[in-house]
Chain A
Amino acid sequence: MIAFNKYYNHFNLLSSALIVVSLLLLIFKGLNFGIDFKGGTLIELRASDSKINVSSLRDRFNQMDLGDVSVKKFGNDTDFLVKFENKDNKKNIIEEIKVNLDKSFGNNYDFRRVENVGPKVSAELLKSGVIAISLSLALMLIYIWIRFEWQFSLGAILALFHDVIVTLGVFSLFSLEINLSIIAAVLTIVGYSMNDTVVIFDRVRENLRKYSDIKIFELTNISINETLSRTIITSATTLLALLAIYFFGGEILKGFSLAMILGVVFGTYSSIYIANTVLVRLRVSQKTVLREDDQNKLN
């Protein structure tokens, strides 16, 4: 048996620090919003001429007066991702750019993907993304509240909060782009982390009924150990699937799978070191679950 409970305090400190750092990052550095949430235009371009590279593209685009232009390689040497604000929301901007690029590069390039999001739509998308994440957290809270006692609910929600904040913190730290698929990833993380927490909580509750003389500090450790091989196997298979997406699923899914990988790692960690420690700190005992059983009988 591994003594997870020996490090409860250490890891609580670490997690608190992680949350504080992440929040500071989110407040002061902010997130690198993609065009979905900031508005603007994105062009994925494939070149068939080695003359076309990041610097020559940047030169061309900067001459076009499009506001802030970013040009990056995308996946391999011939693919590029160009993003700009399109502040005035010019109508025929894509056509103009094509005419302009034709002059320098002829026919040696191809637009593989074009996305243009107006300021109104991006504001709406951001709003609905925030609502979606808040709503899912609220729903999880309510669900666990119905299935368990409030102490469990609080533990689970703190763990979820930790996973979401720290994942976003990592995205802020490395200036990784936040787009619609990242919101999908965060919601899936919420589901996964909850899933993981619930399995351990289910065992804690069962053990609380079984043993009246074991303190919650010991009891959580027993429960974590009993469910440990399941935790490891499920996390491992999920990570294997995600790594396959990350390495082979193409550039478009990179951000999504990275967010999910982070989420699975943090989610597994937080189920052990946040969700359970909340139970310990709130001094959950056999009484807590017996009261619940009594209520169920009455109903």
Chain B
Amino acid sequence: MRSPAANIVQDINDIPSPYLNGVFDLKKYRVVDLLLSRGCKWRCSYCIIGENPLRYFSFDRIKAELEVLVKKAPELSTISLITTDLLENEKFALKLLPLMREISWKRGIKFIFDINVNSLSARNIELMKLLNCADFEAEIGVQSRNNEVLFSCGRPGSKGIEEGFELLKKHAPGLSVTIGIIRGLPGDDINGYKNALSWVFSTGYDLQVRHLRILPGSRLEKNKKQYGIEIIKKYPYFVSSVNTIPRKNMLKMVRLTEDACFSYKMIRMSKALKDNFLTSASELKNNSEYPHLEFAEKFTIWLGKSRKFGKIYRDYNQKRKSETLDWELDYGSFENVSLRALLVEFVKFKSSWKATKPAGKR
């Protein structure tokens, strides 16, 4: 599907800006997208963004667009930056991030953007420090923790990723981070997936799970047979099985995600609870291959049986039957959850589990 160069706009600044040309009445909008670039320098096998080369809009244009948005959208609360990696072009990011910080500071506007995990591995401390803003939300796609799976997808592997996240935590503690993983990649299996989930939980960051979709024109689509990919033949074309993940296991992985994320999402509602979870789960390292995941799964079972949280869990289960296979942050509504009651259950669960858990690796 890759277009010959003549069939894309080479200099994307030739596309007149809808914001600067008054296409929208901005008064009513609270959330807007802002295009920073098109295309991607990576060609991940499951994605189609990289079918066209990476091209940037000029900084001057983006600055002018931001000025228009700030001036003409009085209700504006969130700007979603559309680019595959905010940090890819360091010079560009070094100019843009201070501007974003200034707008956030003056107007309280939140910025949401993607960062490619490989840019974290580059360990640019200056950039990381500029990300330290309470109004910034980064989505970082790790996709898998399995090197072979990553290589086969055309990604550079997981080397340096953990260190990159450590540095990010150190230099940008105020940044909200959501780590993305993909469920169902060819070559992965249920244990590889558990490893990825458990690792994300161990970071304490938010999680987003995308179930693999096969997009026309992607390399995975072209190599469907090679990878034994079976697709659910209706929109949104989720994968039902691949060579290393039979359908039965795929369904287990879906269920596993939803169960573990039920309690993980609750735990993340309180910093004290989250810190306690991270410490408690880490203590299980010698007894479990996937300590954080196991802890979250067991805590979900506990909550599901409890008087106060049983109904919330049943409602969550009911809802998920009609929802997409993707798991996102807004999945499940926990507005009425009492943090105090949750803490009480957490303490009870911990003492009960410690009392029953056998010693040694399970």
Are the chains A and B members of one assembly?
A: no
**Chain B interface residues (CB < 8 Å from chain A):** none
